[in-house]
Amino acid sequence: YPRGAAEYHAVCIVGYTDDGYLIAKNSWGDPLGNGGLVYIPEERATKEEYALCDVGTAISKKAKRIELVVGSDTAQADGTSAALDAAPYIKDDRTFLPVRFVAEALGAAVAWDAATSTATLSSEEGVITVRTHDKVLLVNGKRVGMDAAPEIKNDRLMLPIRPVAEALNCKVEWIANENKAVITAI
């Protein structure tokens, strides 16, 4: 709103797309049911100033190392044990991990839209959108193919986490003799 209006509106730029849009988090919450995100063309003129900080949104700590073992309901994040509400499992030679635990451990907020079976992960590294039974995820608006589709198991979204972890600037290592996935922040 222009100066002097009864109410002001702000957005926090959280990423960008390869096709010329800034991805912003809406300070009014999620009125459109899209995770509270808006896409603003980079060339759009603004009538107000840009702020270099977002005092209303907490910055989440990003774990440096996460370890998850197939079949175990506990994980390690920077050496601290954490309970999982869904254990990792192997299906068709792919290790499926709980999306929410990994995303939050890597400093991303997770929004779930049950109507579209879509999870939106927002962090300082960008915005990732993943949908059940779809082998394509969006990373800052760019399509990224996966070799296995996410699925719901025991009311939890599970998927091979490599594409998500890499989008959050991490590397993933599989230790076969321990049935362990190790995610390390770069």
Q: What is the pLDDT of residues 94-137, one digit of tens each?
A: 999 999 999 999 888 899 999 999 999 988 778 999 999 999 99
24-52 pLDDT, tens digit per residue, is: 776 555 544 555 666 667 766 555 544 44
Q: How confident is the model at residue 13 (pLDDT cuts 50, 70, 90)?
A: confident
pTM of the predicted protein model? 0.67
Q: CA 154 → CA 85, 86, 116, distances in Å?
A: 9, 7, 18
